[in-house]
Structure 1
């Protein structure tokens, strides 16, 4: 069994001009790629196996991330099946000079754990042994409509 808080992964990506669209903000495809990578890290941390993306339940872009700011991405596993792993991802725009953060994007990804032959393999049971873990799981379930 793996506790939810053990799956928490946080990462930052500096938005450079080559990541931007013509409005000089992070291109949505780059944000999605960064989220997918961090989500996979969380899923693999939980499963102890390689995990591949099988579904994005939804992707809500609420506001842009300007060039020069960072995309601060948080991911954690909130549910698991036999071989599937559900991860909540939140991206915030962060100004490193002021440390101001503002939510920009939220999504829910599903990964599948695979073995050395690239076949689905079982994952452990997810537990929530802390109040923080229970709070995060509840927030994810409410936000994804599950």
Structure 2
């Protein structure tokens, strides 16, 4: 079975309140991450028709601060599907409701896994790609997965053979007393 991205796209909007601020008076990044996790769950569950859990979150860059009183809109869609996993792409925008000015605040990718009643992974529907942007998103997800495997192999190599890599540290602000 295959499903289109349109069948599982989700968009939510929420007005940012003073209760969601950090010590600097901006909306707390942890609060935004919590909302992102919720929309990722909803999008993945809608695609798979299963309970889903968050397996990983790709790099999260907070590009612009979100202010109290701004309307935050999150858009989520399935970018990639594996056997039981899905990559949900999320775009976060904040709108000044007085001026109508909208800014891109964050984009991230959540890997979600479909789980059955016994807590075991279960297969998810394939993805119908009907636009070039959907194809680009799927291909980028493949590339990120491949890069993650290479990165993990490299980091494991450093961990196993740290003595061979200690010379790299001389270019950094660190004192090595080994």
| TM-score (norm. length: structure 2) | 0.74
Residue of structure 2 in register with 1:77 after alignment: 78
Gaps in structure 1 of 5+ consecutive residues: none
Residue of structure 1 in register with 2:100 after alignment: 99
Residue of structure 1 in register with 2:26 after alignment: 25
Distance 1:143 1:54, change over 3 A: closer
Q: What is the CA RMSD across the aligned residues, in angstroms? A: 1.7
Normalized per residue, the structure richer in strand is 1
Residue of structure 2 in register with 1:39 after alignment: 40
Q: Decide whether the 8 Å contact of 2:79 with 2:87 is kept in 1.
A: yes
Pairwise CA distance, 1:145: 4.9
Gaps in structure 2 of 5+ consecutive residues: 145-178
1:10 aligns with 2:11: yes
Normalized per residue, the structure richer in helix is 2
Pairwise CA distance, 1:143: 8.1
Q: Decide whether the 8 Å contact of 1:40 with 1:52 is kept in 2.
A: yes
Pairwise CA distance, 1:98: 3.1
More contact order relative to length (CA 8 Å, sep ≥ 6): 1
